Structure formats: structure tokens, C-alpha cells
Chains A and B, each alone.
Chain A
Amino acid sequence: MNSQSPLTIVRAGFIPLVDCAVLAVAREKGFAESQGINLQLNKEASWANIRDRLNIGQFDVAHMLAAMPIAASLGVGHIKVPMVAPMALGFGGNAITVSHTLYNELKDTGADLGDPLSGAQALRQVVDKRRGDNAEPLSFGQVFPFSCHNYQLRYWMASAGIDPDRDVRLVVIPPPFMVESLEAGQVDGFCVGEPWNAQAADQDVGVVLIRPGRFWPTGPEKVLGMQERWASENPDTLKALLPALNEAATWADDPANRAELAALLSGPAYLDVSEAVVLTALDSDLDFHSGVQCEDALWLYAQMVRWGQTPLSKEAEQGVCRTYRPDLLTDALGDAPPSVPVDDVAPLDGVLFDAADVPGYIAKLTIKN
């Protein structure tokens, strides 16, 4: 890129979470600028705002929950706007935290709570006992209908025979309000990204029970989303933006940059929390490598079908693979993106996912909506 030519403006929306790091680093460490891009970052208060501003063209690209561009492309929950996600912005980083009261009830079952399946089975016993006692069902917080948090809670519970739509109550709570909701007894537990689990533990409001990374197949937690139309109308900008973000991801993943990253993210333009809190979050199983795959999108689509958010259809399945676009990243890098380390997690419920046969997978599940 000619240093004399003016920078191309790219408007990006983000939510102040640790996994906005790639966008923040691309801007602050000059990776975007050296690719000829003036990356303008806009902090938003809700995922719904991010979606709307992308839909009406106020943002070119955005930090999105991994299932959001899929939902948008399928027109689930909102108007249909074809989106693409050429790369991931973050993997992992979530945890399930429960109140002390619930933790003690779980411990009283004698189960090994460190094991995801035993933990879920212990929860089943508590749920059954409460039903027997005619007590209110347990409530769990999550962050958005099309979030891994929602699907992870449901998957974990269902593996022990808990029907998340009948046996418990799942409510959306914005992450900054999670800890206070747990403290006020409005929920008995939640699934959220960091730093909120660490904060609940620090303030002795709850106990971090399990990291979904222990049972959830490898796949992105957040992606870079954009309208398909923007991607096809701005191929040169996209080809400059993606390498910049890929370099930013590599930088953010380098342990040598951990302290600098924490300082950057803790600032008022981004998370506006203490550096210590960001450091704790960076110590979780969160990382920033960049590849997405069609199989990841199909896994999320299978969750959407399983929980009644969208019907099963061949057409939708094909649409899903037009949303996650690893080819765009490969084109932009002129090479295949760094491969995603695959940790083979055995399915908690014993049902293997086959991306080539989503209907077959759904048919084998007993708990679904």
C-alpha cells in the first residue's frame, strides 16, 4: 500500500469484552494503519445494537457472538440480512458460575463437581428435589439468545437429562449485571465470559463450577461479522483488513504482550476495568487465533435447531456454510490461516456430532425443543 494514499475508513462495532482485543490491537498497535486502514471503533451497549447498526450500514464490520451472523443470514429472530464471518475474534473464555447455596446443594450429592458430566448429574438431582418440594425452578443467566453461553448451558444440562426449557429458567442478563443478579438471588447461576466469573469468585458471591471448554467442541466464541454485500462490494478493503486483524490476533496471543494487552484493554476506550481483572481474564482458556470453519457454523446451527430457534432445512444448512467463509481469510492472507488446535472432547451426552448429517444428529437427541 502506497504510504501517500489516504487511509480507507472501516467502521467497526464492538462490545467491551476481553475478546474485542483483536480489533483494539489492530487499531492501537498500528496493524490496521500499516495496511492502509483507519479502523474506527465504536463501543456498543448491546448485541442488538451491533446487529441493527450493521443492518443499516452504520457499521461495516463488527465483533459478534459466533451464532449472530448465522441467525442474521437465516432471518431468525429478526429481519433477514445475509452476513459473512471470514474469521474468528476469540475462542473460549466462558465459565459456568453458581451461587454458594446451589454449590453446597450440588456438593451434598457427593458428586465429583470437577467433572462436567458428574456436575450436570448433580444438578439434575437438585432440580428433581426442588420439583418434589414444589420449590421455584432454578434460574440461570446467559447473555443472548444466539450465544454460545446459551447453547453451552443447555448442552451441559441436557447431557444429564435436564430439559432447559421445562426444568429450569434461562434468562438473558447483560454481563455487567450478572454478578449483582447472582448476589441478589435473582439467578442461581450463570454462563458468561470473563471477567465476570472471576469477579463473582473474588467478591465471594459464587463459585466457578466448570469451563465449557471442557465439554464444548472447538469453535469460535466471537467472530468478525459483516454484511455479505459489504464484503462483496469492498474486496480490496477486506483483503487489507483481514491480514491486519490476523496480525493483531497473533500479537494478542503472544504471552510476551500479555501485560501490554491488559493495560490497553483496561483503558476507558475499551473495558474500563482494572488491569488486574483483565489479566485474570487473559489467564482463562481464552485465545485469539483466527480461523473459522463451515463445521463450526453447522454445529451452532444444530444448536439453533435443537432448541427450537429455527426449523431444520437443507436450504438453511447450505446458507450456514455461506456465512462462515474461511476462503475469504485464506484469499486475504494468500495462504491458509494458522490451523486451529483441535482438542478432541468426547461428547458429554455420548452423541457424536456429524456436520455432514445435522438431521441425523438432531434425531438422536432425546432432549430438544
Chain B
Amino acid sequence: MADDLKILVIDEDPVRAAILKEGLGDAGHLRVEWIADTSNLYMRITALDPDVVLIDLENPNRDVLEQMFQVSREVKRPIAMFVDQSDTAMITASVDAGVSAYIVDGLKKERIKSILDMTISRFNAFSRLQQELDETKTQLEERKIIDRAKGILMQQKGIGEEEAYALLRKNAMNQKKKIAEVAASLVSAADLLS
């Protein structure tokens, strides 16, 4: 299903942009341009003359697009934000995903709906990936600190690994804290005393 729409993706995150570009390509949108560095953005968008612009919400350059709503000498085809007057669900979904879509004047909304749906789902998928990555990192850090705390206890009290872990867990339960937190205070106390 080929489509001749020219889509411009403005995103400083190359991974997210790649994920989106791939999704758009799979859906038959092959004319996808990506801008990461946003200097002189207004003139560059004008030169590219896209049908659809997708921009992430952390990007201050979103306000540059707002200017293009108005007819001017440079902007031959004014763009508008893709929203439905009747329904805020679309804006809510895209704000939650962290992306916004702009379309050139005169483009039929039905042609764009699937592109925005795809963009929202790819942005959400990227956030989930990032969250999983963050969680994995935290878990790794926590495991490291628990191992160190266990080592300290084993050495100081002359006990085995299982007993050291049980001691940490008991303390955590008594203090209503996470094992990693108790381990972290033990490690920093040990560092202070050493």
C-alpha cells in the first residue's frame, strides 16, 4: 500500500526516530524525512514542504510550527495541528504519548488518522522500552549493592551468604524498607567507618 505523502519527523532522539520511521515504512509511507538538529528550522521546513510533520513534545521548536498555521509569503501551504474540534481524545492520546502532529491545509483527515495512530503507538512502545531499560539498570545497581552488603556482613559477623541475606531481609521488613535501601545504608556506613 504505497502512499505519496511526504512526512517530516522532528525528533532529537535517533532511536525513537528510527522506530517511527520503520513503522511508517511498514505502513507504506516511504517518503519520510528526519530532522534532529533543529537550527534554522522554519526555513528548512519551508524548503522541505512536507504534508505531515510529527514532532516530540519535549522539543521547544514545536512553537515554530505554530507560526506556520498562518498564510505568509514563505509558507505556500499553511499547516494546522491535527485535532478534531469535537473530540479531545486525540489530543489527550498524543500528549500522553509525547508527540504532536501537524498537517498541511486541505489534506483529508482520514488519510492522517492512521499515521497519527501509528506514531502514538510507536512513541508509547519507545517509552515502554526506555522504562524497561531504566528498570533493568536499577535492578542491576540494586543487585550490586546487595552483594556488597552481604559481603560486609559475611566478613564482619563470620556468617554465610544465605544467613547474611536473611539478616538484610529481616531488617528491611522491620524497617518497612526495600532490601536494597537497607543494603545501601549498610554499605555507606561501612565506607564511613573504613
Q: Which residue of A lies closest to B72 (CB)?
A: A165
CB distance from B57 to the nearest CB of A (A): 6
Contact A309 B60 (CB under 8 A): no
Once the chains are docked, how many angstroms separate the CA of A173 from the CA of B60? 9
Contact B39 A46 (CB under 8 A): no
Q: Is A77 an interface residue (CB 8 A)?
A: yes
Contact A77 B66 (CB under 8 A): yes
Q: Which residue of B lies closest to A46 (CB)?
A: B62
Q: Is B69 an interface residue (CB 8 A)?
A: yes
Query: Which residues 41-67 in B have Cβ within 8 Å of A in the complex?
Result: 42-43, 57-67
Once the chains are docked, how many angstroms separate the CA of A175 from the CA of B64? 11
Q: Is A100 an interface residue (CB 8 A)?
A: no
Q: Which residue of A lies closest to B102 (CB)?
A: A48
Once the chains are docked, how many angstroms separate the CA of A45 from the CA of B65? 14
Contact B95 A173 (CB under 8 A): no
Stretch from B83-91, B120-128, B145-153, B178-186 that touches the partner: B83-91
Contact A49 B88 (CB under 8 A): no
CB distance from A228 to the nearest CB of B (A): 16
Q: Which residues in A have their C-beta under 8 angstroms from that of B70?
A: 77, 145, 308-309
Query: Which residues 62-114 in A have Cβ within 8 Å of B in the complex?
Result: 77-80
Q: Is B176 an interface residue (CB 8 A)?
A: no
Contact A52 B95 (CB under 8 A): yes
A56's contact among B61, B85, B91, by CB below 8 Å, is which?
B91
Contact A47 B92 (CB under 8 A): no
Once the chains are docked, how many angstroms separate the CA of A144 from the CA of B67? 7
Known contacts A55-B91, A172-B42, A173-B64, A45 near B57 by CB under 8 Å:
yes
Q: Which residue of B lies closest to A307 (CB)?
A: B70
Q: Which residue of B lies closest to A51 (CB)?
A: B66
Q: Please count how many residues in chain B sit with their CB below 8 Å of the partner chain's CB atoms.
A: 29
Once the chains are docked, how many angstroms separate the CA of A175 from the CA of B60? 9
Interface size grouping (class) on chain A:
20 to 34
Residue from A166, A174, A176 having most chain B Cβ neighbours under 10 A: A174
B88's contact among A46, A47, A55, A309, by CB below 8 Å, is which?
A55
Once the chains are docked, how many angstroms separate the CA of A165 from the CA of B59? 27
Q: Which residues in B have their C-beta under 8 angstroms from that of A308?
A: 70
Q: Which residue of B lies closest to A186 (CB)?
A: B40
Contact A45 B67 (CB under 8 A): no
B60's contact among A46, A165, A184, by CB below 8 Å, is which?
A46
Q: Is A39 an interface residue (CB 8 A)?
A: no
Contact B72 A47 (CB under 8 A): no
Residue from B64, B69, B92, B95 having most chain A Cβ neighbours under 10 A: B64
Q: Is B141 an interface residue (CB 8 A)?
A: no
Once the chains are docked, how many angstroms separate the CA of A56 from the CA of B39? 30
Q: Which residue of B lies closest to A47 (CB)?
A: B63
Once the chains are docked, how many angstroms separate the CA of A172 from the CA of B100? 18
Known contacts A77-B69, A172-B67, A49 near B62 by CB under 8 Å:
yes
Contact B83 A48 (CB under 8 A): no
Contact A56 B88 (CB under 8 A): yes
Residue from B38, B66, B95 having most chain A Cβ neighbours under 10 A: B66
CB distance from A70 to the nearest CB of B (A): 15
Q: Which residues in B have their C-beta under 8 angstroms from that of A53?
A: 95
Once the chains are docked, how many angstroms separate the CA of A120 from the CA of B65? 28
Contact B59 A46 (CB under 8 A): yes
Q: Which residues in B have their C-beta under 8 angstroms from that of A79?
A: 83, 85
Q: Is A273 an interface residue (CB 8 A)?
A: no
Per-residue contact bits, chain A 292-307, to B (CB 8 Å; 1 contact, 0 not) = 0000000000000000
Q: Which residue of A lies closest to B68 (CB)?
A: A172
B residues contacting A by CB (< 8 A) are 38-40, 42-43, 57-67, 69-70, 72-74, 81, 83, 85, 88, 91-92, 95, 100
A residues contacting B by CB (< 8 A) are 45-49, 52-53, 55-56, 58, 77-80, 143-145, 165-166, 169, 171-177, 180-181, 184, 186, 308-309
Q: Could you name 6 residue pairs across A and B whose Cβ atoms are closer than 8 Å?
A: A46-B62, A48-B63, A56-B92, A77-B70, A177-B38, A186-B43
New A-B contacts (7) at CB < 8 Å, excluding given A77-B69, A173-B42, A180-B39: A45-B58, A46-B61, A47-B63, A52-B100, A56-B88, A56-B95, A184-B40
